[in-house]
Amino acid sequence: MLFPVDAILFDIDGTLVDSTAAVIRTWQAWAAPRGIDAEEILRVCHGRRTEDTIAMFLPPAQQAAAVTELEQLELDDLNEIIALPATRSLLSRLPADRWAAVTSGSQRLMRARLTAAGLPIPRVLIAAEDVKAGKPDPEGYAAAAAALGHDIRRCLVVEDAPAGIEAGRAAGARVLAVATSHPASDLTTADTLVPDLTACRLEVTATGLLLSTTS
């Protein structure tokens, strides 16, 4: 499939960066003293902001402190944070005004994970604290396109999670899903699906970008 677009908007965790092991460890460490089943959290947390996930498990009065505690656990655990296949080469070819990242994590955490993985930090990074509503709400992707100065309908969203795919489509973008963290059967609402970004080829043209997929 061919995607002639003006810009590409990437999710981070599970799309550019493999942070699975750290995510599991930190949620387990956070859940254990509270008597919460970490497996229940892990079933719903992917692609969602920490505050939105914690709101499912704690009363309002406890949520703000719990979000702060979890973020510190995450910042203290940057072990095994690695770039996913082909991300480094793909990002290195993108002009700074042609790509952005939209993440459910915080600015501090996502910048730390990108750095740990050896990936560049984009000029435009829309994080959890930059939006009123997290994914699957389209606010983040709409904000990223606007910050780059491009029409969201001329942008491609790259996502690994159902909540992110829903957000990209609701914003008006086309969506490429990578099956790096979820089964392909969970990602069928994307415009196309690839195993990972090694299946993508990028051409920077005089007027924009042309991304093609080989599977």
Q: How confident is the model at residue 213 (pLDDT cuts 50, 70, 90)?
A: very high
The answer, as to whether pTM is greater than 0.85, is yes
Q: What is the pLDDT of residue 45?
A: 87
Residues of the chain with CATH 1.10.150: 20-75
Residue 67 · residue 102 · CB < 8 Å: no
Architecture in CATH of 20-75? Orthogonal Bundle (1.10)
User: CA 175, CA 161: separation in Å to the nearest integer?
Assistant: 11
Q: 177-192, pLDDT tens digit by residue? A: 999 999 999 999 999 9
- Of the residues 11, 52, 137, 160, which is catalytic? 11
117 contact partners, CB below 8 Å, separation of at least 6? 16, 17, 18, 81, 82, 83, 87
Topology of domain 2-18+80-213, CATH: Rossmann fold (3.40.50)
Is 37 among the catalytic positions?
no
103 contact partners, CB below 8 Å, separation of at least 6? 11, 12, 13, 110, 125, 126, 127, 128, 140
- Of the residues 13, 18, 137, 160, which is catalytic? 13
Q: What is the pLDDT of residue 215?
A: 61
Residues of the chain with CATH 3.40.50.1000: 2-18+80-213
Q: 91-133, pLDDT tens digit by residue? A: 999 999 999 999 989 999 999 999 999 999 999 999 999 999 9
Q: 62-74, pLDDT tens digit by residue? A: 999 999 999 999 9
Is 13 among the catalytic positions?
yes
User: CA 8, CA 30: separation in Å to the nearest integer?
Assistant: 34
Q: 141-184, pLDDT tens digit by residue? A: 999 999 999 999 999 999 999 999 999 999 999 999 999 999 99
